[in-house]
């Protein structure tokens, strides 16, 4: 199939995603098996971890590992760990004291089903399991220095240099007034920490496990950071186009309160241009890699830019 045909290219990527998601789902199921006696805490962990997600973070981790010459199995435990950290953050994000959501991935949120107490514990346990799982990679033929470096990147992406920092800034900004400059800075800080940090860690840990050079690891970090920001810009644009409200009109004006979004700050057209620029930047960071092996990551960038929901 010619790779320059957009249709066949998309199809190739979709089947790549589906295949990677299948192997990740199998490994996740094995990582949190249903045990006797069935405990509510295990059910709660499995409920969110195994529910229908796109598995973008593990896919990114495995693709980065393979890009630098490693094998899928080398990074699988770390890839599963990345999805556990993601699931943990989704559970917390949905709590009444955070975003207070009742639906996630088409199902009632974790706290709606299991109650807030068990839900918080399931989130904590998923972080612990993520680190435990990644650490077991030492049983493979991977030098322990690599495993340690990967674990360090994983936990960094969760704490006050990652998810926690982004969420804290999000909470602190609620109801605050911003002028257009500080608003953009604040929004970018939130997304770099809440979304890009975990995607970055996924790509970086994959490259570390696969034995990538420092230069390769940093290129993948920059690529994933662009993907993370682009994801949020596209998300905001989709929200506007879906609700068909002309939020773009407020661009450039002082923002008193309400949810900060890119269309609100720069208008819909400029937001779309920004997303396209991030896509170009993401691709530039991949220059110099093997052109066949880099195809999944190039396609992922296009997929994030062009998704419709």
Cβ 198 to ligand GRG shortest distance, Å:
7
CB 66 within 8 A of CB 210: yes
CB 83 within 8 A of CB 225: no
Q: Measured at CB, which residue is nearest to ligand GRG? A: 53
Binding site for ligand GRG (CB under 6 A): 53-54, 56, 85-86, 88-90, 92-93, 98, 105, 127, 158, 163-164, 167, 194-195, 231
Total residues belonging to the chain: 309
* 37 cis-preceded (ω within 30 degrees of 0): yes
DSSP letter string over 20-56?
Answer: HHHHHHHHHHHHS---SSPPHHHHHHHHHHTSS---H
Can you tell me whether residue 304 is helix, strand or coil?
helix
Pairing type for strands 107-108 and 103-104 reads antiparallel
C-beta of 88 vs 137, nearer to ligand GRG: 88
Cβ 291 to ligand GRG shortest distance, Å:
27
Cβ 299 to ligand GRG shortest distance, Å:
16
C-beta of 92 vs 251, nearer to ligand GRG: 92
Cβ 178 to ligand GRG shortest distance, Å:
20
C-beta of 87 vs 135, nearer to ligand GRG: 87
Cβ 220 to ligand GRG shortest distance, Å:
18
C-beta of 21 vs 140, nearer to ligand GRG: 21
**Whole-number Cα distances in Å, 216 to 211, 223, 230, 296:** 10, 11, 21, 16
C-beta of 74 vs 88, nearer to ligand GRG: 88
């Amino acid at each position: 199939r010619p790779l320059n045909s957009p249709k066949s290219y998309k199809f190739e990527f979709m089947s790549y995603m589906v295949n990677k998601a299948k192997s990740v789902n199998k490994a996740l199921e094995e990582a949190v098996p249903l045990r006797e006696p069935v405990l509510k805490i295990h059910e709660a962990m499995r409920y969110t971890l195994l529910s229908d997600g796109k598995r973008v973070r593990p896919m990114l981790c495995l693709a980065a590992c393979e890009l630098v010459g490693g094998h899928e199995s080398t990074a699988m435990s770390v890839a599963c760990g990345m999805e556990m950290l993601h699931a943990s953050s989704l559970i917390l994000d949905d709590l009444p004291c955070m975003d207070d959501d009742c639906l996630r991935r088409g199902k009632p949120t974790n706290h709606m089903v299991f109650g807030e107490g068990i839900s918080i514990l399931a989130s904590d346990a998923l972080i612990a399991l993520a680190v435990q799982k990644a650490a077991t990679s030492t049983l493979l033929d991977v030098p322990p220095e690599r495993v340690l470096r990967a674990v360090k990147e994983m936990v960094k992406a969760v704490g006050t240099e990652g998810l926690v920092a982004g969420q804290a800034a999000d909470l602190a900004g609620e109801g605050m007034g911003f002028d257009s400059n500080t608003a953009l800075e604040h929004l970018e800080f939130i997304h770099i920490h809440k979304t890009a940090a975990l995607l970055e860690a996924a790509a970086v840990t994959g490259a570390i496990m696969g034995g990538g050079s420092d230069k390769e690891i940093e290129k993948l970090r920059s690529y994933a950071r662009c993907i993370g920001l682009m994801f949020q810009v596209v998300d905001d644009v989709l929200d506007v186009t879906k609700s068909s409200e002309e939020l773009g009109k407020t661009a450039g004006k002082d923002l008193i309160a309400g949810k900060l979004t890119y269309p609100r700050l720069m208008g819909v057209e400029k937001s779309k241009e920004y997303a396209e620029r991030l896509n170009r930047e993401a691709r530039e960071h991949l220059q110099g890699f093997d052109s066949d092996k880099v195809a999944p990551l190039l396609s992922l960038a296009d997929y994030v830019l062009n998704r419709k929901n």
